[in-house]
Amino acid sequence: MIRRSPPKEESWESYKTRFPHQRVTTVKRVFEQLERYVEDRGLEWTPKLLPVWASYKKGRENRVTVLLRTEQPVKVAIKMR
């Protein structure tokens, strides 16, 4: 079994150097709204900024993911359970 190292964490500043300004602004705005939702409900979710997506994780699972890929529109994926 091949084990991969975890992806490198990013920052909003590093996103700005790699993605169009409007895309980063949109994703950051969505992520800030998610942050308020998580805090208001006392959810034990952790924010992660990764190479092509930003997510909130519970343990090892992504609960909400916002994709930044430039070849398609910004996407939000929510894990329901």
Q: What is the mean pLDDT of residues 37-42?
A: 95
pLDDT tens digit string along 12-26?
A: 999 999 999 999 999
Whole-model pTM above 0.95?
no
pLDDT in tens, 60-70: 888 999 988 88
Strand intervals (E) in 4-74: 46-49, 53-58, 61-67
Q: What is the percentage of the chain residues whose pLDDT exceeds 90?
A: 63
Binning pLDDT at 50, 70 and 90, where does residue 72 land?
confident
